[in-house]
Amino acid sequence: MDSPLDVPDDWGLDGKVAIVTGGGAAGDGIGNGRAAAILLAKAGARVVVVDRAAELAARTVAMIEALGGKAIGCEADVTKPEDCRAMVEAALDRFGRLDLLDNNVGIGSRGSVVEESQETWRRVMQVNVETMFLVAKHAIPAMIRAGGGAIVNVSSISALRPRGLTAYSASKGAVIALTRAMAVDHGPDGIRVNCVAPGPVYTPMVYQRGMSEEARARRRTASLLGIEGTGWDVGRAVRFLLSDHARYVTGQTLVVDGGATLRGPERDT
């Protein structure tokens, strides 16, 4: 790209193949993974929607197909190496290649190191960090064979501004470090690796646990913009980082939080 005439006017995703883990969501709700899967498909990518619950992945596939996109569902537990291998094989068997990966699986936790159990600590680290290691381990060789690719790992602003979720914050900080290390390791392979750190977005994972209107309002006003973030906001960030528009971006963390991490204590006027 040596002149403005060389700048792409599309996402550069047409015909590429993407895996999105955690791509399901309850009902017709829009979680981060489902939003990314739909937006990638709308931009021309063929998407393998991975979820531990086959019916949730299937619903995302149906939503993509209703928009004219191409996708398949894949039931997998990404804590298991054999499932990670199988979903990459499913992408290759159906679409013949693999170019893109959205590592989007995660769970929450609450409590300090004194309050948290060792069992919960290990489970949070397994689901939030080790799964990204396992999926990438099997996806990257296929990307190299395809001539390169791009990966997005989903972290959280809790990695940047801890707020009493110690195991979760530590795991999401590890995701950022893993992203930077992977970017160094695989840049020579033509693979870009970046990270998205969402703020308090309103998704099915959040509201299924139950949330009062007062709590929802507090989350909204945490944004400097005074608006509520959704899975679509995270999905758009993922699509950008996986697209050709981000061809010169790697090893970075894109914060999607409406400015929440910039908000400090109220000042006297």
Residues involved in catalysis: 168
User: Contact 23/33 with Cβ under 8 angstroms?
Assistant: yes
- Please report, for residues 30, 85, 181, 202, 258, the alpha-carbon distance to residue 263 in angstroms, rounded to integers and kept in the order given: 26, 42, 29, 19, 10
How far apart CA 246 and CA 21 sit, in angstroms, is 21
| Identity of the residue numbered 60 | T
Name which of 195, 185, 49, 31 is nearest 129 in CA terms.
195
Q: Count CA atoms within 13 Å of residue 233 on its CB side.
A: 16
| Identity of the residue numbered 68 | G
What strand order describes the sheet that includes 70-75? 70-75, 46-51, 17-21, 100-103, 149-154, 191-198, 253-256
